[in-house]
Amino acid sequence: MEGLLKVKNALVTGVTGQDGAYLTKYLLDKGYNVYGTYRRLSTPNFWRLRHLEIFEKLNLISCDLSDAGSIVEAIKISKPDEIYHMAAQSFVEASFETPVSTGDITGLSVTRILEALRQDGCNAKFYFAGTSEMFGETGPRTNERALNENDVFRPMSPYAAAKLYAYWITRIYREGYKMFTVNGILFNHESPLRGMEFVTRKIANEVAKIRVGLSRELKLGNLDAKRDWGYAPEYIEAIWLMLQNKVPKDFVIATGEAHSVREFVEKSFDVAKLNWQDYVKVDKRFLRPLDVPCLRGDYSLANRELGWKPKTKFIKLVEIMVKEEISRWERWLKGETFPWDAPNYPSEDRLLTRGHRM
């Protein structure tokens, strides 16, 4: 009886990010005691936790993924039943600028955590935030077929290579040490809490600024790339379900549809009742040395075994994101203040990238 009533402890790395914040809310709502790691920054970055009204409800632990001692400490403090490893250098473009630190933070950090768990004898279940980026080049060749758990990984970025290393380490600790470790292979998932540098949020934010008269153009890179975009809060449930599964197993989470960046642009301007061709310019600064042309996922295993399926598809997602952004800028123009990143986000106008030099 006592076992049934025990409150579970969850350790979530990267609670200041999109998924970490939504996941923390989801777990708190389920009655978990949540410990969240964040890293020290010169300017605190808790806007998502405040936006979701959970900042006061979780236990914060300072932890940097490059610092093994801080990971050991986070595990000691939280005594976790479940660990959700969400923290990473997660921006593909930035991984071309900082390939070594991306390898360390996004890849090696997983070994630091798993080794800490193994040495400690901690039985916590472990979730690793794997990604569709790992499929890389496999995407275009199977354009007509959605990718599943058995497809070959051919990474096309330092980020994807780092994630693939971590994916295998997660499997090696599962098979070698019989630990409950799983890889989620999540396709792109978006929301109004998405980081500003990612293309969907960048588009939604700029369209809204144009709509309210604060901007006149939107500069983008590769408009032909296709992605399988889902709604982040729904993907959080899939993550939790993976750790409740009887056996540790890897799952693809996706919508099953791929759309181009151009389509995302067109539909976003439609929501704002504007013509995209009047505002959009291609700027080579936003091109990457390599870019995965197309990613589309097959979530049928997750549907069969976890009972999970996506509810929010492409058009609805675009509407959610653009409408929220317009509402935020309208409220801001009226003088309202609320936890939100956009007004402080620096302009990309003087940004020098690998694309800039190509």
Return d(Cα 220, Cα 283) in angstroms, integer. Answer: 6
Whether the Cβ atoms of residue 205 and residue 196 lie closer than 8 Å to each other: yes
Distance (Å, whole) CA 169 – CA 110: 7
Q: Shortest Cβ contact with ligand GDD: which residue?
A: 225
- Of the candidates 224, 225, 222, 218, the one whose C-alpha atom is nearest the C-alpha of residue 281 is 218
**Active-site residue, selected from the candidate residues 32, 84, 102, 133:** 133
Distance between CA atoms of 94 and 185, rounded to whole angstroms?
Answer: 21
Residue number with CB closer to ligand GDD (248 or 297): 297
* Catalytic residue check, 131: yes
Q: Is there binding between residue 102 and ligand NAP (CB under 6 A)?
A: no
Residue 159 appears among annotated catalytic residues: yes
**Which uninterrupted H or E stretch holds 168?**
helix 158-177
Separation between Cα atoms, residue 203 and residue 280, nearest integer Å: 10
Secondary structure tally for the chain: helices H, strands E: 15, 13
Binders of ligand GDD in range 198-227 (CB under 6 A)? 198-199, 202, 220-222, 225, 227
Our finding on whether 188 is near ligand NAP (CB under 6 A) is yes
H or E segment and range at residue 36: strand 33-38
Interaxial angle between packed helices 261-271 and 199-211, expressed in degrees from 0 to 180 and rounded to the nearest 10: 30
Task: Say if CB 14 and CB 20 are below 8 A apart.
Answer: yes
Find which of ligand GDD, ligand NAP, none residue 199 binds, CB within 5 to 8 Å per kind.
ligand GDD
User: Using CB under 6 A, which of 9, 18, 24, 78 touches ligand NAP?
Assistant: 18
Query: Cβ closer to ligand NAP: 112 or 328?
Result: 112
Per partner kind, with CB cut-offs from 5 to 8 A, the member of ligand NAP, ligand GDD, none near residue 14 is ligand NAP
Selected range binding ligand NAP among 39-47, 116-124, 144-152, 291-299, rule: CB under 6 A: 39-47
Amino acid identity for residue 310 in this structure: P
Residue number, nearest CB to ligand NAP: 17
Window 305 to 324, contacts with ligand GDD (CB under 6 A) = none
Q: Which does 17 bind (CB under 5 to 8 A by kind): ligand NAP, ligand GDD, none?
A: ligand NAP
Site for ligand NAP contains 170 (CB under 6 A): no
Identify the helix (H) or strand (E) that includes residue 184.
strand 181-186
268 binding ligand GDD? (CB under 6 A): no
Tokens of 286: 């936003």
Among candidate residues 13, 24, 131, 181, the one labeled active-site is 131
Q: Could you give the CA distance from residue 328 to residue 311 in angstroms, rounded to a whole number?
A: 25
Residue 165 is a binding residue for ligand GDD (CB under 6 A): no
Residue 252, strand partner residues: 185
Confirm whether 190 is a catalytic residue.
no
Contact set with ligand NAP (CB under 6 A):
14, 16-20, 39, 41, 45, 64-66, 86-90, 105, 129, 131, 186, 188-189, 195
Contact set with ligand GDD (CB under 6 A):
90, 92-93, 131-133, 187-188, 197-199, 202, 220-222, 225, 227, 261, 286, 288, 291, 295
Active site positions, annotated = 131, 133, 159
